[in-house]
Structure 1
């Protein structure tokens, strides 16, 4: 039954339904105790063994808790928890000027330079084979090089873009104009309509040593804007191949991800020593980490200035020939396994003036071995139009050294591409015209003029 006036939820299990008639105890005043107050002692049996075991267990727990920074105190009446709070005063990061003389902490480096870094978002529209307009978007990073709004980034960040927007650390967004760029060196210059901007301070990338500390600031994944990562210089003058184009790079283990491309790489003095350009996330079937790359600023600064003035690199060295890496058929004719084949030479061009002929194999430039077209392209990056160098070619079973003065890229050539490219076979499997004529007689073909 549920009719007990003292306990509405008391139920009787008696078959006859009667209730227990004992009087309910008289309620006394409620006694409140704080959790830490001792409870009334009760008489207990002596359990010395259990007390000793409990004491040993408590000591073990105290030791572990102390290692974790938390102290547990045991009193007679209960447990007490005390969390240790640090009283250290946070260090205030002062914004310092980059003068190339003072070593900066990572926090100071970031504070001094974050306003010079930018986030870049570009979009492009193209027509697919069905005649449909397809829009694409990409993100990257960059850095301000002048107070009136000139910005440096990678060429691949804005390549083919119909719209480019630049966002500053302050949150302001500007439409950007692409002044120009160069695909071979993966550099581009943008311009926004702004004044009074904070520009970076350029450093000397040639002074970097393996083990130097460097920092990258950028826009990883296109969303984590103005993030900074740090690491060391793993290698200098690292030759790598990116999509068939050779680059001389600074290798670093700083975390670099898609979206970081075009951002600045700072040394410990807060100076820009590189342009973040690529990251190898995999090699063959193996996953790798800690491989980031940046273009040395010394290698491209003259070209950046050239782009700012002329819209493209005007002093790129021009060979004036169609060349390509040796293949098996060519190797049989020359008994050479490596080198760069001369397919054709332009009348009046630098190659013809130097004495290069169809069928020559370029094996060295200024003593530097040339085993492939990539080697030749990388070697050319060390020269400008008008520079003279010694070119070693294999002809008629012997090595010949020629003096070649690089020419200037013709106006009708695409300034975004290095004109020295490998010659291609036509659809019937034939070689370019001049090469086929050299070996087999006249036959029409195709090739790329350099």
Structure 2
């Protein structure tokens, strides 16, 4: 009977399509079969080398003739043990073979055009992580934008949030909006496609647009990112990211601009809204895996992730993973041009925060047209304390029509115009410390008159935070005199204004 059991353990059937190793009955090294490359690939120049081919992996089974479990308990027990060893080895080997990896969800629930766009774009997408003093800081996605064959180095564009402190600095009476500390000396690890890592060396970061450039040593050519010239509101798009195991993550959605002006200091952003059906399917899948494994598998959304169009070109880079806000490609292209040519990304600080009239609520926009006969331009939302704009009489509620003679309809157009002013200033031989004159055509709503104002402003590559004077003064008074929050509405203000 022992011989019969031993014989049964060695019986197996070939698993279709599996070309794996087989462990013999004593647990020794798997047997190998040798073949010559010349017999399979003629003309590749490697005909004299021998290739070791693993023997097929075969799954143990109980013969059909053995049906009585009670009478053959030892046989079924031996088969169970053999199957456990088989499963363990199959899983171990499958981890080494990309072609045998199993994915529970389809690649992406989009038309074939989306699949064709994703695969080339993903080749330039990598993952980065940072730490300060051996303490993990954060992670982000990154995009290859340059590669030098001679030095074997590449340049990665990512979000400056990779080196930003998690919590904002404490606020005071005069600085109500969030400000963060950045760590230029943070240790940055670049996770490459072949599961190796490299050190990322910070070359430059800019806080206003949340961009950073890192230099990375790579011993092979990398796929460079292709950027679109423009992105349109309502455009269908795909958001790409990488999980912790570097597997690709794809989200189908649409570009919107209806809340882009509401961001604190980031009124130049656009927003990526996921397709609700896709999101519901993913949520159900994660909940099912949670119930099955008892472990919740969270999304691994990161800043720096690209938003691409259906041609595979990047139309924006995520700078707030929670809200889905992203810097549009037109601004990214100008940022990269300035950094490559001048080593920095400055912009004139006008001391104004604006909102596009065309993206206001239709009822509000129609009311403005009916009262003022204006249907295009930027509505001034805040004027910074002590700014030249405040001194020349620009006030909240005024409407800006032109900058240096060019009509401006959106805050993205405004930012690109400001970056263009910097390019012209540098081309004329000036540096980042220069002052520039900016001519603003503005409608004063209180007086119902058009005027052209000359603003003399500084260039800076620091983040511009516009702090409105009335709000700051009231907040300081309310804090000093301990005004109850319940009375703030009497002054046209709310607690939400200060958080």
Q: Could you state the TM-score of these two structures normalised by the residue count of structure 1?
A: 0.51
Task: Please give the residue correspondences for 1:102-121 in structure 2 after superposition, counting only pairs within 5 Å.
Answer: 105-121=113-129
Determine if contact 1:115/1:168 at 8 Å carries over to the other structure: no
Pair 1:389–1:358, CA change in 2 (3 A): closer
Determine if contact 1:365/1:379 at 8 Å carries over to the other structure: no
1:340 aligns with 2:372: no
Determine if contact 2:385/2:467 at 8 Å carries over to the other structure: no
What whole-Å deviation, never above 9, does each CA across 1:18-75 have from its counterpart, x for those lacking one? Answer: xxxxxxxxxxxxxxx9699xxxxxxxxxxxxxxxxxxxxxxxxxxxxxxxxxxxxxxx
Structure 2 SS opposite 1:197? coil
1:392 aligns with 2:392: no
Question: Matched residues in 1 for 2:304 and 2:273: separation?
Answer: 15
**Structure 1 or 2: larger helix share?**
2
Structure 1 SS opposite 2:253? strand
Q: How much does 1:135 deviate?
A: 3.5
Determine if contact 1:147/1:195 at 8 Å carries over to the other structure: no
Choose the corresponding residue for 1:188, options 212, 219, 223.
212
What whole-Å deviation, never above 9, does each CA across 1:343-384 have from its counterpart, x for those lacking one? Answer: 4245xxxx49xxx4368556111179xxxxxx9977742421
Pair 1:426–1:389, CA change in 2 (3 A): closer
Pair 1:178–1:217, CA change in 2 (3 A): same
Counterpart position of 2:424: none
Pair 1:245–1:273, CA change in 2 (3 A): closer
Question: Matched residues in 2 for 1:232 and 1:359: separation?
Answer: 39
Determine if contact 1:342/1:361 at 8 Å carries over to the other structure: no
Task: Report the aligned-residue RMSD.
Answer: 4.4
1:153 aligns with 2:165: no
1:366 aligns with 2:390: no
Q: How much does 1:302 deviate?
A: 0.7
Choose the corresponding residue for 1:268, options 310, 322, 332.
310
Question: Matched residues in 2 for 1:146 and 1:199: separation?
Answer: 9
Choose the corresponding residue for 2:274, options 248, 253, 258.
253
1:417 aligns with 2:455: no
- Alignment coverage as a number of residue pairs: 283
Q: How much does 1:392 deviate?
A: 3.0
Counterpart position of 2:477: 429
Structure 2 gaps of 5+ residues are 1-63, 68-98, 100-110, 149-153, 165-181, 280-297, 356-378, 404-408, 422-435, 480-499
Q: Could you state the TM-score of these two structures normalised by the residue count of structure 2?
A: 0.47
Structure 1 gaps of 5+ residues are 1-32, 37-90, 92-102, 126-133, 282-291, 326-336, 369-374, 432-450
Question: Matched residues in 2 for 1:208 and 1:179: separation?
Answer: 31
Determine if contact 1:217/1:229 at 8 Å carries over to the other structure: yes
Question: Matched residues in 2 for 1:234 and 1:166: separation?
Answer: 29
Determine if contact 2:304/2:318 at 8 Å carries over to the other structure: yes
Question: Matched residues in 1 for 2:191 and 2:156: separation?
Answer: 11
Counterpart position of 2:392: 357
Question: Matched residues in 1 for 2:122 and 2:271: separation?
Answer: 21
Q: How much does 1:250 deviate?
A: 4.2
Q: How much does 1:393 deviate?
A: 3.7
Choose the corresponding residue for 2:131, options 123, 135, 140.
123
Determine if contact 1:233/1:253 at 8 Å carries over to the other structure: yes
Q: Which has the larger radius of gyration?
A: 1
